């Protein structure tokens, strides 16, 4: 990410997608949710002053669905995390992103500013 002064801030990023094999119909698998929630919890237990950037993959037209699912999972985390998401304007272009960090992160203001600056820079200029 870049802050408004265009200084680089390093953050971990991740996304997820559903892989289908053959003609199998897509179905809900609660193990995926539990795995991702577990990974996020472990990450912040070990690195409480870092942040995670979540980008929804848009190549299959399901980015909005993944964004909604991730928001639901975030509400289930309930462990002192704060989430900021890209605007609805970005969503109309199929671009969804969120940043997660501990609410007491000493770099909170800088992370929020850098997230929105980067999303606006890349999302609006390159979509």
**pLDDT tens-digit profile of 22-76?**
666 666 667 888 888 888 889 999 999 999 988 876 777 777 777 888 888 888 7
Kindly state the greatest CA–CA separation across the chain.
50
**pLDDT tens-digit profile of 8-27?**
888 888 766 666 666 666 66
Let me know: does 2 contact 9? Beta carbons within 8 Å. yes
What is residue 21's predicted lDDT score, i.e. its pLDDT? Answer: 63
What is residue 17's predicted lDDT score, i.e. its pLDDT? Answer: 64
What is residue 98's predicted lDDT score, i.e. its pLDDT? Answer: 87
Q: Which residue has the higher pLDDT, 124 or 101?
A: 101
What is residue 20's predicted lDDT score, i.e. its pLDDT? Answer: 62
Asked if pLDDT for residue 101 goes beyond 90, the answer is: yes
Pick from 44, 70, 73, 40: nearest CA to 57: 70
**Residue 50 φ/ψ, nearest 5 degrees:** -105, 180
CA–CA gap between residue 17 and residue 12 (Å, rounded)? 18
Pick from 39, 36, 37: nearest CA to 47: 39
């Amino acid at each position: 990410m870049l802050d408004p002064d265009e200084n680089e801030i390093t953050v971990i990023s991740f996304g997820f997608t559903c892989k289908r094999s053959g003609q199998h119909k897509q179905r809900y698998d609660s193990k995926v949710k539990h795995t991702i929630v577990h990974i996020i919890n472990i990450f912040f237990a070990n690195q409480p002053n870092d942040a995670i950037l979540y980008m929804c993959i848009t190549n299959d037209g399901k980015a909005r669905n993944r964004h909604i699912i991730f928001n639901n999972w975030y509400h289930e985390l309930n462990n002192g995390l704060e989430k900021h998401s890209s605007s609805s304007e970005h969503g109309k272009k199929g671009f969804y992103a969120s940043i997660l960090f501990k609410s007491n992160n000493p770099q909170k203001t800088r992370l929020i500013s850098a997230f929105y600056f980067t999303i606006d820079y890349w999302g609006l200029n390159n979509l």
